[in-house]
Amino acid sequence: MRDVAIIGIGQTPVDEHWDKSLKELAGTAIFNALNDAQRETADALFIGNMLSGILSKQENLGALISDWIGLPGIEAHKVEAACSSGAAAFRAGLLAVSSEDVDSALVVGVEKMTESLPIETTEALATAADADYESAQGLSFVAINALVMQLYLHTYGWKHTDFAPFSINAHANAIHNPYARLHENISKKDYISARMIAEPINLLDASPTGDGAAAVFLIPADSLLPDNKKIIQVVGSASATDSIAIHNRKDPLWLSAAEISANKAYQQAGIKPQDIDFFELHDAFSIMSVLSLEACGFSKRGQAPKLGLDDQILINGRIPISTRGGLKARGHPVGATGVYQIIEAVQQLRGEAESTQVTDAEIGMTQNIGGSGATIITHILRSV
Amino acid sequence: MRDVAIIGIGQTPVDEHWDKSLKELAGTAIFNALNDAQRETADALFIGNMLSGILSKQENLGALISDWIGLPGIEAHKVEAACSSGAAAFRAGLLAVSSEDVDSALVVGVEKMTESLPIETTEALATAADADYESAQGLSFVAINALVMQLYLHTYGWKHTDFAPFSINAHANAIHNPYARLHENISKKDYISARMIAEPINLLDASPTGDGAAAVFLIPADSLLPDNKKIIQVVGSASATDSIAIHNRKDPLWLSAAEISANKAYQQAGIKPQDIDFFELHDAFSIMSVLSLEACGFSKRGQAPKLGLDDQILINGRIPISTRGGLKARGHPVGATGVYQIIEAVQQLRGEAESTQVTDAEIGMTQNIGGSGATIITHILRSV
């Protein structure tokens, strides 16, 4: 097993791209990544996507996109793990390069969600939950997360307003990210008065959907690197699952797949949580930020809201999160999100994060969640 | 990169399993593979599936199935490459083990196609073609293959009846496979008089859909093996793509992705086409058998129907194909097919193919096609 480095990143803004098809979005991100890597081709292409079959009536994205980017012939296929499809595709590319089967790999996460009716998108997203025991009972995805948040507030005695710092931080950071979906600061008052979606989750607890694509270029770490680029190496990578239906878990407030995959990744990297300089976590809903921070060892159980209230999640805090806006404000084009997270970590490690740069960032972690904690994939990157 | 061996196989019959859900089918195949491998768990699970999001309103199959089989926690995700999803998942499992990231992997291909209306299934299958330039024009999947077959007949001067041996052979072999969908011999007369679907493709040119699941268990080749089993090693594995829309190809009668992936696999295995003892090819339509045989070097261009007419594709012929019934008669539960092919190759190499055993079979090839030749994945297995 050989070490793998990321030498190219490329993305589109997350937005309502009504003038661009799925393959055009993917192509734009890929060409940007190829340019950044100073390469013209790759041996293989791995695609993270969740909804193309349902919303765009298009599967076989491997052939579709490799053809569109002018590389028909290369190996290509799609990887699906609900909202963690992006990280799952990244991990597939990583294993392909580390196995020595290929010497270079492109990974693209792409999703097109805004061209369908909102009810269609909501129905499509519900396929991440248990079709028989959750979706069929009328539980939408936000409803499942609302049940979890209610239980959390009840169990640990927090108030809804205690979650405000997570949204405020994400929006503040997204202002400086030209690829983010939302560019507006929000106040605590905005958070408190936002429209309710599924109690206690309101509009500012929830991440927006969007169209977007993000791509990275992978090579063996000992290969020739482009000039003037820091080497960004993948030092930890692990994926784990949990019961797909929340009611089957012993403790619905504990992301056991986050704990398993993070611990594996820490062990591979030879580090502990306190060595992580920033954490691009999966803040699809603010409750998910809290549960991730706890399961990954950044807070005691039931105490993560304190990290927000104490300003520890800000860029200059103990564990900066959502440094480029996170899912909450960069946006959450589901199958692409995991690759956006990797790109944002690379920006931090290269020192290219400008106004939201974490000082001396050397080790960053990303975590992508599929379903309500059912599939969780953790990566640790390091500049060497 | 370390060598990988297959030590367990398991399958369900291909049928209309109206009493079994997708996860139950997958579970049955997995438990059979675990039993055969004499194992109780695996480090990771890779799932080949194409249509679950559209037809079963269920994605996130990784978490769903690992939970169902009593292994929540293990890494698991879905791989999609249209009708080649099964082989793509097998290749993902192979790379995971060969990269040393995991020490054992389960691969399951699963598809549930018969619970939806036929028109829904037809629409879902059309997502394998180009949504903008093929499906949106009303071209179903069988219609695309019919255009290719018409062009082949016109270009090379064959008659439709010259394709009869491919269907007759598949049906004759399936009689002896208890897992096959169709157990009835057909005659040349049956073939000629079969109901037309899309001229010149009639009912006996086309493979039936079905529900089914097939699973294999992979370990490093140098690990401890179960007693009394021949070691079946994967000695070649390659995947390639072509333009997704037929009209974009320079030569619509040449499966360039088959040629690329087969040649790579031959090279990895250090062999030539003449060393292959049998070939489990992708006979979704009889025209596809012919094009595969030509692209993989078993026949001159435009001449493969001769292999059928000369009895060279029979069990005792030069290049036996569809030895357990193929897609044509074993059935084609699309995302599962690629894993069924692997299982059938393992049966031949272990000497467990009973009435359709290829004498002294030592090297077998499988080839799984997604779309009309858009994604093609080739594997070579060997008993050592």
pLDDT digits (tens, 9 = 90+) for A345-374: 999 999 999 999 999 999 999 999 999 999
| Chain A partners within 8 Å of B256 (Cβ) | 73
Angle at CA of residue B106, ends B101 and B111, nearest 5°: 130
Touching check for A100 and chain B: CB below 8 Å?
A: yes
Minimal Cα distance from B64: which residue of A?
A244
Interface of B with A in 77-96 (CB under 8 A): 77-82, 84-85, 88, 92, 95-96
Q: pLDDT by residue (tens digit) across A301-325? A: 999 999 999 999 999 999 999 999 9
Q: How far is CA B227 from CA B7, B230, B346, in A?
A: 10, 9, 16
Average pLDDT estimate for B175-202: 98
How large is the greatest C-alpha to C-alpha distance in chain B, in angstroms?
57
Could you tell me the two tokens for B182? 């169709």
**Total residue length of chain A:** 384
Supply the DSSP string of B325-379, one letter for each residue. -IIIII---HHHHHHHHHHHHHHHHHT--GGGPPTT--EEEEEEEETTTTEEEEE
d(CA A323, CA A337): 14
How would residue A222 be classed by pLDDT, with cut points 50, 70 and 90?
A: confident
| Chain A partners within 8 Å of B72 (Cβ) | 241-243
Touching check for A61 and chain B: CB below 8 Å?
A: yes
Of A98, A135, A240, the CB nearest to B75: A240
Of A77, A84, A99, the CB nearest to B1: A99
- Is the CB of B72 less than 8 angstroms away from the CB of A243? yes
Catalytic residue among A17, A171, A332, A379: A332
| Chain A partners within 8 Å of B92 (Cβ) | 79, 92, 95
pLDDT greater than 90 at residue A195: yes
- Is the CB of B21 less than 8 angstroms away from the CB of A242? no
Q: pLDDT by residue (tens digit) across B280-298? A: 999 999 999 999 999 999 9
Task: Give residue A72's pLDDT.
Answer: 85
Percent of chain B whose predicted confidence (pLDDT) is above 90: 95
Could you tell me the two tokens for B79? 């791989």
How would residue A213 be classed by pLDDT, with cut points 50, 70 and 90?
A: very high
Task: Give residue B228's pLDDT.
Answer: 64
d(CA B199, CA B222): 51
Q: Which helix (H) or strand (E) holds A226?
A: none
Which residue would you say has higher pLDDT here, A141 or B365? Answer: B365
Average pLDDT estimate for B210-223: 95
| Chain B partners within 8 Å of A69 (Cβ) | none
Q: Sort strands B232-241 and B4-11 into parallel, antiparallel or unpaired.
A: antiparallel
Touching check for B374 and chain A: CB below 8 Å?
A: yes
| Chain B partners within 8 Å of A67 (Cβ) | 241-245, 248, 374
Residue ranges of the alpha helices (H) in chain A? Answer: 22-37, 52-55, 61-68, 85-98, 118-125, 141-156, 164-174, 188-193, 256-269, 286-295, 305-309, 326-330, 334-350
Interface of B with A in 315-334 (CB under 8 A): none
pLDDT greater than 90 at residue B1: no
A332 catalytically annotated = yes
Task: Give residue B356's pLDDT.
Answer: 98
Sign of the dihedral through C-alpha B134, B137, B140, B144: negative
Tell me A334's DSSP state. H
A83 catalytically annotated = yes
- Is the CB of B80 less than 8 angstroms away from the CB of A61? yes
Q: pLDDT by residue (tens digit) across A58-105? A: 999 999 999 999 998 999 999 999 999 999 999 999 999 999 999 999
- Upstream peptide bond of B200 is cis (omega within 30 degrees of 0): yes
What is the CB neighbour count within 10 angstroms for residue A196? 11
Task: Give residue A55's pLDDT.
Answer: 96
Average pLDDT estimate for B59-78: 96
pLDDT greater than 70 at residue A111: yes
Of B64, B72, B98, the CB nearest to A130: B64
Task: Give residue A228's pLDDT.
Answer: 64
Task: Give residue A230's pLDDT.
Answer: 82
Interface of B with A in 199-258 (CB under 8 A): 237-245, 248, 256-257
Q: Which residues contact A320 (CB under 8 A, 6 or more apart)?
A: A277, A278, A279, A313, A314, A358
Tell me A81's DSSP state. B
Of B54, B66, B241, the CB nearest to A62: B241
Q: Which helix (H) or strand (E) holds A72?
A: none
Task: Give residue B72's pLDDT.
Answer: 85
Average pLDDT estimate for A230-238: 94
Touching check for B123 and chain A: CB below 8 Å?
A: yes
Q: In chain B, helix, strand, coil percent, each to 5?
A: 40, 20, 40
Q: What is the ipTM of this complex?
A: 0.96
Q: Which helix (H) or strand (E) holds A158?
A: none
Average pLDDT estimate for B200-216: 98
